[in-house]
A and B are shown apart, each in its own frame.
Chain A
Amino acid sequence: MTGVAVHLDGLRRTFGTVHALADLDLSISPGELIALLGPSGCGKTTALRILAGLEEATAGRVLVDGKDITRLPASKRDMGMVFQAYSLFPHLNAQQNVEFGLRLRKRSLKRAAEMLELVGLSGFENRYPNQLSGGQQQRVALARALAIEPQVLLLDEPLSALDAKVRVQLRDEIRRIQTEVGTTTLFVTHDQEEALAIADRVGVMKSGKLEQLAAPAEVYLRPATPFVADFVGISNRLPGVVEGDTVQVLGTKLPLVGTHADGAVTALIRPESIQVSPDPSSSAKVLTSSFLGSLSRVTVTVDDHLVVAQVPSGDLPELTQGTRVRLTISPLAVVVE
């Protein structure tokens, strides 16, 4: 099965004076998985709900496979949806839940078993939702959404209620299944790691608008705006001076993303771009260091600024509090504001 193209055309949604969506344009190619990423209240869920038909747009159009479905009710839209809250019907077992949409469409119920197998839940057919773990419930919900062979799959923060390990596991599985069935998918999340790991393209949203829509690596390495840089991973905000197409930060000249007038700026530098090594002659001092597994985080004070750096945990013993250190910045392009 191949997916269909989806276009959100100038979508606007206002609640009183608040603009949840401000003329959002978004095109999803057939079979593509797009993750909408942003803080709560940025309009990502509103966009997904308008696409699902669960909310009405104040203005704009929704086109699926070239057809305008803006005024079509949710029940006629042919979209599979997985919700953040557990949404399985409590009075039906796993199998009956998956069969629900098939029965409404008078289709063969055989597909329910196939779908449960696809999500790795064969043998759980007779379990009721309250007998399933959170992860299993979301798998059944995914099977239920895919059983009806929807034109578009909508995932509304489906992993946020799950614990960290199940989350990563199910995330990878959603990607595998989505690639396998080839359904055009919109995935909404506030978790940047999740978005970067799963999507073909990531759309970072702020105040009802797309700040950047690009491949995960692009969004991460070349954030289009300070907001994107800040939201996609933690960034240090350090003073710098722009000279032509470079910016000088802590004595290092770095290439610039985009262009900026010469002069003093604030540069956004990622913790993993900063290397820390002991240097008794330096004025920078380690303030705190925290062990986080394979990588650790070190906070350094330099000229009244706090700099957060990510270092290999092996280096941690020599970076105790008060150690004088030298900071080196990798020559990656940086965003300034």
Chain B
Amino acid sequence: MARVAFRWTVLTVMGVFFLLPLVAMVEFSTRDPETWPLLLNWPKLSADYPALAVGILASLAQAAVTTVLMLVLLVPTAIWVRLRLPKVRPLVEFLCLLPLTIPAIVLVVGLAPVYAWVNYFVGGSSITLVFAYTVLVLPFAYRAVDTGLSAIDVKTLAEAARSLGSGWFTVIVRVVLPNIRSAVLSAAFLTVALVLGEFTIASLLHRTNLQVAIEFLGKSSATVSVAVSLAALLLAFVLLIVLSIAGSWKGKKS
């Protein structure tokens, strides 16, 4: 009985701790009845708040490009390391988890000189942030892909495919990838959620994205800024829910 009571107390306290700010955001952003309809009216939004519109588009583009870049770099690498270079796996794992241990602010200090060169060669567009973001999402994406690879016997499957006449490309595309689909999907969703919520690096490198725009907007139009924050949060929630559904669907299948 005491345990049940304790459990409910913890759940209630945690629930209030997480939900209270969100409830406050809902309450604050609905004080002006015009706010939420505005978010659904893109032409008006982009006319009234051009900086916010630019931020939203920039973040969406960053999320998309980072996801592609992450998948192209990470998935083949993780598979290759498993298949051919098992000895360097701990090193790769360490490297991929490194960004998690370095605070974003420290990362920026290191990235600033690198971005001076990026500015010089590619220009100062906000899309160039994808290079930093790809590093930033590595810990999460790597873990997701690696978990997927652990769930199947990659080595035997690859050897079976090779003995049947597949080259390495066919092995990866037709045998390994279809069996780690949900893991790859997880990595992609986590990347999108992370990029949509990123503020520090974008702000300190003087580039724009959704969070930078929200922060900027907070100074002039607080309700819209809070509403957009909430919408971005909800989008991330939806992504994570889709992720867990995709995971459990796969669990049922096998």
Residues of A within 8 A of B (CB): 52-54, 73-81, 83, 85-91, 100-101, 104-105, 130, 141, 144-145, 148, 154
Which of B166, B179, B254 lies in contact with A104, CB distance below 8 A? Answer: B166
Beta-carbon contact of B164 and A104 below 8 Å: yes
Beta-carbon contact of B179 and A83 below 8 Å: no
Complex alpha-carbon distance, A79 and B159, angstroms: 12
Please indicate the chain A residues that have their CB under 8 angstroms from the CB of B157 in the complex.
87, 89
Q: Does B160 contact A (CB under 8 A)?
A: yes
Chain B contact residues (Cβ within 8 angstroms of A): what range?
A: 10 to 19
Beta-carbon contact of A75 and B156 below 8 Å: no
Tally of contacts, chain A with chain B, CB under 8 A: 68
Complex alpha-carbon distance, A75 and B163, angstroms: 5
Q: Give the one of A73, A89, A104, A145 with max B CB within 10 A.
A: A89
Name the residue on A nearest B181 (C-beta): A91
Residues of B within 8 A of A (CB): 152-153, 156-157, 159-167, 170, 175, 178-179, 254
Please indicate the chain A residues that have their CB under 8 angstroms from the CB of B254 in the complex.
90, 130
Complex alpha-carbon distance, A56 and B163, angstroms: 14
Beta-carbon contact of A90 and B152 below 8 Å: yes
Q: A90-B152, A90-B179, A91-B179 are in contact. Are A81 and B165 (CB under 8 A)?
A: no
Please indicate the chain A residues that have their CB under 8 angstroms from the CB of B167 in the complex.
73, 75
Complex alpha-carbon distance, A104 and B171, angstroms: 11
List the 6 closest A-B pairs by CB distance, nearest first: A101-B164, A87-B160, A81-B163, A74-B162, A91-B178, A104-B165
Name the residue on B nearest A141 (C-beta): B160
Please indicate the chain A residues that have their CB under 8 angstroms from the CB of B179 in the complex.
89-91
Name the residue on A nearest B175 (C-beta): A89
Beta-carbon contact of B178 and A81 below 8 Å: no
Closest chain-B Cβ to A229's Cβ sits at a distance in Å of 35
Beta-carbon contact of B153 and A80 below 8 Å: no
Complex alpha-carbon distance, A83 and B167, angstroms: 19
Complex alpha-carbon distance, A31 and B153, angstroms: 32
Complex alpha-carbon distance, A78 and B160, angstroms: 12
Complex alpha-carbon distance, A89 and B178, angstroms: 9
Q: A90-B179, A91-B179 are in contact. Are A101 and B156 (CB under 8 A)?
A: no
**In the complex, given contacts A75-B162, A78-B165, what are 16 additional A-B residue pairs having Cβ atoms less than 8 angstroms apart?**
A52-B159, A53-B162, A73-B167, A74-B159, A74-B163, A75-B166, A80-B164, A83-B156, A83-B160, A89-B175, A90-B179, A90-B254, A91-B178, A101-B165, A141-B160, A144-B164
Which of A76, A85, A145 lies in contact with B153, CB distance below 8 A? Answer: A85
Please indicate the chain B residues that have their CB under 8 angstroms from the CB of A86 in the complex.
153, 156
Which of A81, A91, A104, A130 lies in contact with B160, CB distance below 8 A? Answer: A81
Please indicate the chain A residues that have their CB under 8 angstroms from the CB of B153 in the complex.
85-87
Closest chain-A Cβ to B97's Cβ sits at a distance in Å of 28
Beta-carbon contact of A148 and B164 below 8 Å: yes
14 pairs, CB–CB < 8 Å, chain A vs chain B: A53-B162, A54-B162, A74-B163, A75-B165, A79-B163, A83-B156, A86-B153, A87-B157, A87-B159, A89-B157, A90-B254, A91-B179, A101-B164, A145-B163
Q: A104-B170, A130-B254 are in contact. Are A87 and B156 (CB under 8 A)?
A: yes
Q: Give the one of B153, B160, B170 with max A CB within 10 A.
A: B160
